[in-house]
Amino acid sequence: MSLLNIFAKKTDKKNINLLPSESVEVVSKKDLTFTILIPIITAALIIASFGGLLLLEKIESTRSGVINKQISDKEAEWKNYATVSANLNQVRTNLAMYEQESLKNKNLYQNLIAIRDVIPTSLNLTRLDFKLNNANLDGTAADPRSVYQFVEVLKSKPTVYSKVTVKNINYQASEGKYNFSVSFSIANQTK
């Protein structure tokens, strides 16, 4: 006998379990089943959770895309309204300016007709400027006699035209035409 055996404990394998051996086998099979099923169920739950999260993320990204499209459509619609509003505001401003200018030149249309009726066809107007009832005309003519004829017609109607002045007439050799400038006042005419 060895010294080690002296200190070794003698153990007899005895079943100290008070349960019958068939019950112990059933319990151990249940334990084995639960031991295998718990990781499988846990893995299935984890996979289902990730799958659910991926599905929710996809649904939310789709919703986000729809909402972003709706927002961009609304922004485009509002930009369109803003453009129309800006155009209307510009028209309103132009109309107000026109009304102010028309108050300054109340008889503008009649004055233009009065000038049109006396301008000979041989004159080409390049500028017409109205301030109140005063008109300044610039133009070209092939013959200076046409300009003087126009001035004489204006002077021959003193009830309609006054302060008729020829500012200048000069010959442009490069164009072969005479440039002229005439100013006059138009009396108020009502029709």
Write the DSSP string, the chain.
--HHHHHSPP--------S-HHHHHHHHHHHHHHHHHHHHHHHHHHHHHHHHHHHHHHHHHHHHHHHHHHHHHHHHHHHHHHHHHHHHHHHHHHHHHHHHHHHHTTTHHHHHHHHHHH--TTEEEEEEEEETTEEEEEEEESSHHHHHHHHHHHHT-TTTEEEEEEEEEEEETTTTEEEEEEEEEE-----
Q: Check residues 34 and 77 and name the one with the higher pLDDT.
A: 77
pLDDT score for 189 = 56
Distances in Å between the alpha carbon of 187 and those of 12, 16, 52, 144?
143, 137, 90, 26
Identify residue 26 by its one-letter amino acid code.
Answer: V
Range among 2-6, 34-38, 179-183 with highest mean pLDDT value: 179-183
- Range with the poorest average pLDDT among 71-75, 107-111, 117-121, 168-172: 107-111
Q: What percent of the chain has pLDDT over 90?
A: 18
Looking at residue 68, its pLDDT comes to 93
Range with the poorest average pLDDT among 11-25, 47-61, 100-114: 11-25
Beginning with the edge strand found earlier in the chain, give each strand of the sheet holding 123-131 in spatial order: 123-131, 134-141, 177-186, 161-172
Confidence class for position 73, pLDDT limits 50, 70, 90: very high
Q: pLDDT tens digits for 11-50?
A: 555 656 666 666 656 556 666 677 788 889 999 999 999 9
Residue positions counted in the chain: 191
- Specify the pLDDT at position 154: 86
pLDDT at 191 (0 to 100): 47
Q: Which two tokens stand for residue 21?
A: 């051996």
